[in-house]
Amino acid sequence: MKKIILFLLIIFCSCNKEKVKEIRKETLNDTSKEIPEEASYFKQIKNNDVKLGEPVYGDWLYTRKEKGQTFDQYFRSKHIVPTSDANIIYIRPIGNFNALQKKQIELLNEYLEIYFQLKTKTLDPISNDVVPNSARRMNYGHEQLLAGYLLNDVLKEEKPLNRIALMGLSELDLYPKPEWNYVFGLASYRDKVGVSSIYRLQDGELTSENFDLCLSRLLKISSHEIGHMFGLHHCINANCVMNGTNSMEETDRHSIRLCSVCQRKLNSCIAYDNKKRLTDLEKYFKKNNLKDEFGLMKKDLEIIR
């Protein structure tokens, strides 16, 4: 009888350990945890935050009255954190990419690894043929794929090793439903899976002349969407990569930089070295001739030295 009780106790403890481990994957903090004191790093770079101006017609916030998200709200919210078995960000190219586009995907992989300070891997491309005719259409002379099909029937089925987030990247334009002209991308933040298109980032065609601008757009949109997967909401206070956008023009106006509050949120989740991340970003932007982006990182580094 004692052996049976001991056996049941072992099973009960094991199950509870697994349950705690599973909860830890989905939840960074509970409401009983004390909010950590703001580190001097975030207080210093706050001086470089640029307050958002009043939205004008066509802007994201003109018709959307978002409440934003404080650091305290983020800290106490449920969101994923890296663990030993979930710590790699994956990019899945979809379609046929030319040499310039492949170069941008390589640079995106490098950027996301620096931005999130997590291992990032690019999977082999998959063919557009995975999408049936019922989930594709012609619109104003170019082909579009149904974003929801790629998200739900293709990407959600993929389980690469130690995946914490998966971003599909389509070369073709996307649409969310028949009555919509297009969509930049679609994501399931619960499943930590998203899909975006490079089609509209390229102003018709990616060339050596518009390469830097298109790369900046790709870095912004990808880091924004994956930021959502880590639980960050839209930023409504400062010019920040987590600002919501309605158009490519608005995306171009918004900063690639995370504001001080959003940086604090991400750092509380991933727990990287803030100065190392900033230095890595400065070197990346300088190497790739992204002058405005380099200037932002340099300005932050100067204020913390």
* Sequence-ordered list of residues with C-beta below 8 angstroms from that of 61, at least 6 positions apart, any chain: 52, 55, 236, 244
Burial class (CB in 10 A: 0-12, 13-18, 19+), 213: middle
Phi, psi of 101 (to 5 degrees): -65, -40
Tokens 């619960």 -> residue: 190
225 has catalytic annotation:
yes
Which residue among 171, 225, 282, 293 is the active-site one?
225
Task: Note whether 105 and 215 are within 8 A (CB).
Answer: no
Burial class (CB in 10 A: 0-12, 13-18, 19+), 202: buried
Residue 184 corresponds to which tokens in the numbers above?
């930049």
Whole-number Å distance between alpha carbons of 159 and 176: 24
- Enter the DSSP assignment of 47: G
Q: What is the DSSP string of 121-173?
A: EEPPPB-GGGS-GGGEEEETTEEEEEHHHIIIIIGGG---TTEEEEEEEESSE
**185-189 contact pairs (CB < 8 A, 24+):** 185/147, 185/221, 185/225, 186/147, 186/148, 186/150, 186/151, 187/151, 187/225, 187/228, 187/229, 188/151, 188/152, 188/156, 189/228, 189/229, 189/231
Catalytic positions, written as ranges: 225
